[in-house]
């Protein structure tokens, strides 16, 4: 290893960190492989050779992220700044308000910083730190942005780069530690307590109101399946009855907690996953040999609602107010010292 004098090292770190700065969306309960992104949403991207346009030479020599590109089964080493831009580009529409994009960048930075400093590679193939999927954070490179955005590439890229850079080296912390900055697409008017969807009560992942979600195009959805399909997927029998189970519990976030099917009890989460529903806030109705299921919201409901964040931004809230609404009791903290540790280990 080449030894650098302390003053030179400090100067190089300060230059690199003003340019880089990571963006995170932390996987809570990462030991149980929960996802951090827009659960249930389809994100399809073809891989293409990356053409970095964001990073400076200094950034390229500092912190990098090894991303497993799932389409081509290759690993790309991406400068942190470029990685964060790629995550925000893939996870939130560029048409959203600037403050919502900043909130997304802050969540994304928190996730990757936490993962890098903890050396957590769970869910990633050997040699990679994260994948480009919802298991970690969805990511697209510059070539993919050009391909998908076409003539809108220039303004969209510029807007997202500014959102990432304007949040500096900031991350979200609770008791001095990076948080599990979960997010999802659209709520049902509320977010969910962490323990109502996963095991474990997290103090900053509390149910809060999110009335802005009702304006989301993804707020309501219907799914139709036959009675036989319904019974097979859930392992229940409803026969010819018009009654399809009884809801015996609801969560703090107004979603279905438990349903009793003639003695067999399933949680709302189990039903959502087995039936591949957009949300665990659902109602259903039997129509002949079919069951029509109506859902409110899109995603697991824990953490920050992306459409809710955009709704808050449209009403004039800045990104700090947005994240502190969806993540209760958190602080916005500089990650410079954490990043300097990573850089010093290079």
Does 309 lie in the same domain as 246? no
pLDDT (tens digit per residue) in 317-328: 999 999 999 999
Cβ burial, residue 56 (10 Å; 0-12/13-18/19+): middle
Residue 65's SS3 state is strand
**Confidence label for 345 from pLDDT (cuts 50, 70 and 90):** low
**Pair 69, 287: CB distance under 8 Å:** no
Number of folded domains in the chain? 2
344 pLDDT tier (thresholds 50, 70, 90): low
In-domain check, residue 1: no
pLDDT digits 0-9 by tens, 102-116 = 999 999 999 999 999
Q: What is the mean pLDDT of the chain?
A: 84
- Pick the residue with more confidence: 52 or 110? 110
Do 35 and 135 belong together in one domain?
yes
Domain end call among 256, 273, 296? 296
**Contact by Cβ (8 Å): 21, 105:** no
If asked whether residues 39 and 101 sit together in one domain, one would say yes
In contact, 264 and 236? CB cutoff 8 Å: yes
Q: Do 187 and 329 belong to one domain?
A: yes
Task: Examine the domain organization and report whether 104 and 69 are in the same domain.
Answer: yes
Q: Please report the pLDDT score of residue 7 as a whole number.
A: 37
Q: What is the distance between the alpha carbons of residues 265 and 261, in angstroms, rounded to a whole number?
A: 6
Q: What pLDDT, on a 0 to 100 scale, did the predictor assign at position 38?
A: 44
Asked if 95 and 161 sit in the same domain, the reply is yes
Retrieve residue 123's tokens: 């869910």
- Could you tell me the strand order of the sheet in which 220-226 lies? 220-226, 290-296, 282-287
Residues 161 and 278 occupy one common structural domain: no
The most confident of 1-5, 113-117, 230-234, 239-243, by mean pLDDT: 230-234
pLDDT in tens, 260-291: 998 999 999 999 999 999 999 999 999 999 99
Asked, for residue 15, whether it belongs to a domain, the answer is yes
> 329 in a domain, yes or no?
yes
**Residue (of 50, 187, 24) closest to 106 by Cα position:** 24
Domain span including residue 258: 220-296
For the four alpha carbons of 291, 305, 30 and 161, in that order, the dihedral sign comes to positive
> Are 246 and 179 within one domain?
no
Task: Give the Cα separation of 234 and 274 in Å (integer).
Answer: 6
55-77 pLDDT per residue, tens: 333 433 488 999 999 999 999 99
> In the listed set 296, 317, 332, which residue is the last one of a domain according to the structure?
296
Do 162 and 266 belong together in one domain?
A: no
- Whether 104 and 191 map to the same domain: the answer is yes
Question: What percentage of the chain reaches a pLDDT higher than 90?
Answer: 72
What string of DSSP letters covers 95-158? Answer: TS-HHHHHHHHHHHHHHHHHHHHTT--TTS-TT-SEESSTTS-----HHHHHHHHGGGHHHHHH
């Amino acid at each position: 290893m080449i030894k650098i004098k302390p003053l030179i090292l400090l100067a190089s770190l300060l230059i690199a960190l003003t340019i880089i700065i990571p963006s995170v969306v932390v996987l809570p309960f990462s030991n149980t492989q929960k996802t951090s992104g827009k659960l249930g949403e389809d994100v399809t991207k073809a891989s293409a050779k990356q053409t970095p346009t964001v990073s400076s030479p200094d950034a390229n020599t500092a912190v990098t992220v090894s991303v497993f590109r799932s389409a081509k089964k290759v690993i790309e080493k991406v400068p942190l700044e470029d990685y964060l831009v790629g995550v925000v580009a893939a996870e939130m529409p560029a048409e959203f308000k600037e403050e919502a994009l900043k909130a997304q960048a802050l969540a994304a930075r928190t996730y990757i910083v936490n993962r890098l400093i903890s050396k957590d590679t769970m869910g990633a193939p050997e040699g990679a730190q994260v994948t480009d999927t919802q298991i970690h954070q969805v990511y697209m490179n510059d070539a993919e942005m050009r391909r998908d955005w076409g003539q809108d590439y220039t303004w969209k890229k510029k807007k997202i780069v500014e959102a990432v850079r304007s949040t500096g080296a900031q991350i979200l912390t609770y008791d001095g530690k990076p948080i599990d900055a979960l997010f999802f697409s659209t709520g049902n008017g509320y977010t969910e307590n962490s323990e109502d969807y996963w095991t474990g009560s997290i103090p900053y992942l509390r149910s809060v109101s999110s009335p802005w979600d009702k304006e989301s195009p993804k707020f309501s959805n219907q799914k139709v399946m036959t009675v036989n399909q319904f019974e097979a997927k859930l392992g229940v029998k409803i026969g010819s009855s018009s009654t399809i189970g009884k809801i015996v519990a609801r969560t703090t976030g107004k979603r279905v907690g438990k349903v009793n099917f003639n003695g067999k009890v399933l949680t709302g989460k189990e039903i959502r996953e087995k039936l591949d529903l957009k949300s665990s806030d659902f109602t259903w109705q039997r129509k002949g040999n079919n069951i029509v299921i109506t859902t409110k919201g899109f995603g697991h409901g824990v953490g920050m609602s992306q459409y809710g964040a955009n709704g808050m931004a449209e009403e004039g809230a800045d990104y700090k107010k947005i994240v502190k609404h969806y993540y209760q009791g958190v602080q916005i903290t500089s990650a410079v010292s954490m990043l300097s540790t990573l850089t010093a280990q290079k």
